[in-house]
């Protein structure tokens, strides 16, 4: 028997960057610009993240790879940990992520990895406040997700 439960979430697809409101365009543009600082000699996949804080600050991050592979870090966590270091008491409002590759066109908006989703989710729990994601590839399309933690149902958050 038991009971069937459903988990679902909705997200908004903008066909073009131009459809975004000005503040979101600025944030996505910061993420796109940040890809220039990606250090990704192994994957050639250049990711930029731009985190908007509630105090108006924008903190950027890029993926930083290393020859000892697990020592590298994704763009999203680079930005989130920099913000946690510089502004530990300020919640996020939105996180934009953009990607391009030296090997192929990135035709779909980039989708954050599981470890980054865990860190995003914990921020929402810490501040009891959700923040938006704006995901961008190279096609111009933007996906907007209202609540970052929606991307990681059943995340690990025990009372330790
Ligand atoms: N990567 C990110 O920085 N963010 C993502 O959302 C997806 C993946 C990085 C990790 C690695 O440096 C490269 O992109 C893919 O191998």
For 59-103, write each residue's pLDDT tens digit.
999 999 999 999 999 999 999 999 999 999 999 999 999 999 999
Q: Is 76 helix (H, G, I), strand (E, B) or coil?
A: helix
Assigned domain for 27 exists: yes
Assigned domain for 76 exists: yes
Give me the number of domains the chain comprises.
1
Q: Which of 113, 117, 133 to mutate to test the pocket of ligand 1 (most atoms within 8 A of CB)?
A: 113
* Cβ contact 99:35 at 8 Å: yes
Query: Averaged over 34-63, what is the pLDDT?
Result: 98
**Residues near 18 by beta carbon (within 8 Å), at least 6 away in sequence:** 25
Assigned domain for 150 exists: no
List, as one string, the DSSP characters of 19-35: GS-HHHHHHHHHHHHHG
Query: Averaged over 14-37, what is the pLDDT?
Result: 97
Q: What is the CATH number of the domain that holds 102?
A: 3.40.140.10
Residue from 12, 52, 54, 55 nearest 30 by CA: 52
Residue nearest to atom 13 of ligand 1 (CA): 45
Q: Measured in angstroms, how far is the CA atom of residue 160 from the centroid of ligand 1?
A: 29
Average pLDDT, rounded, for the chain: 97
Assigned domain for 147 exists: no
CB distance 118 to ligand 1 below 6 Å: no
Q: Measured in angstroms, how far is the CA atom of residue 20 from the centroid of ligand 1?
A: 24
138 is catalytic: no
Report the C-alpha gap between 91 and 84 in whole angstroms.
Answer: 9
Residue nearest to atom 10 of ligand 1 (CA): 74
pLDDT band, residue 44 (cuts 50/70/90)? very high
Assigned domain for 154 exists: no
> Residues 76, 108, 124, 138: which is the catalytic one?
76
Record the tokens describing residue 41, joined without a space.
């000699």
Structural domain span for residue 98: 12-142
pLDDT at residue 158 tops 90: no
* pLDDT at residue number 91: 98
Assigned domain for 153 exists: no
Assigned domain for 92 exists: yes
* Cβ contact 10:141 at 8 Å: no
* pLDDT at residue number 16: 94
Query: Averaged over 41-45, what is the pLDDT?
Result: 98
pLDDT at residue 113 tops 90: yes
Instruction: Please work out, in degrees rounded to the nearest 5, the angle formed at the alpha carbon of residue 90 by the alpha carbons of 87 and 93.
Output: 120
Assigned domain for 56 exists: yes
pLDDT band, residue 5 (cuts 50/70/90)? very high
CB distance 112 to ligand 1 below 6 Å: yes
* pLDDT at residue number 56: 98
For residue 66, what are the CA distances in angstroms to 22, 53, 159?
Answer: 36, 28, 34
Long-range pairs for 74-78: beta carbons < 8 A, 24 or more residues apart: 74/47, 74/49, 74/112, 74/113, 74/115, 74/116, 75/34, 75/38, 75/47, 75/48, 75/49, 76/47, 76/49, 76/112, 76/116, 76/119, 76/120, 77/115, 77/116, 77/119, 78/49
């Amino acid at each position: 028997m038991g009971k069937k439960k459903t988990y679902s979430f909705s997200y908004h697809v903008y066909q073009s960057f131009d459809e975004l409101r000005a503040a979101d365009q600025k944030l996505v543009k910061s993420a796109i610009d940040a890809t220039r600082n990606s250090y990704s000699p192994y994957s050639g996949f250049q990711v930029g993240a731009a985190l908007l804080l509630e105090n108006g600050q924008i903190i950027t991050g890029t993926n930083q790879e290393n020859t000892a592979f697990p020592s590298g870090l994704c763009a999203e966590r680079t930005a989130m940990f920099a913000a946690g270091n510089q502004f530990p008491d300020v919640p996020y409002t939105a996180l934009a992520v953009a990607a391009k590759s030296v090997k192929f066109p990135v035709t779909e908006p980039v989708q954050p990895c599981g470890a980054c989703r865990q860190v995003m989710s914990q921020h929402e729990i810490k501040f009891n406040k959700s923040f938006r994601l704006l995901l961008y590839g190279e096609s111009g399309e933007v996906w907007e997700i209202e609540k970052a933690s929606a991307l990681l149902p059943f995340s690990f958050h025990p009372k330790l």
